[in-house]
Amino acid sequence: MDGQTRENLIAAGCDEKFLHEFEACLSDKKKCDRLLAKHRRELLDRVHEEERKISCLDYLIYNLEKQRSKAL
């Protein structure tokens, strides 16, 4: 694996275990593609979870502002 690919994988949040797995499968394009797709799905799942948390906070802020405006 070249240095640029390694740096890109690290920047994408891949750990040493992933880097070793990826390097081991470089001769098997399909396996590498599956490995990358799996990591991408995991990252996207985390993004969606954080978005859900933000939505909960937004809803709470909305309700608090609504209650404050009724109190005035």
Per-residue pLDDT of the chain (72 residues; tens, 9 = 90+): 899 999 999 999 999 999 999 999 999 999 999 999 999 999 999 999 999 999 999 999 999 999 999 887
As given in the structure block, the two tokens for residue 43 are: 């990252």
Specify the pLDDT at position 71. 82
Specify the pLDDT at position 72. 75
Sorted by where each begins, the domain ranges of the chain are 3-71
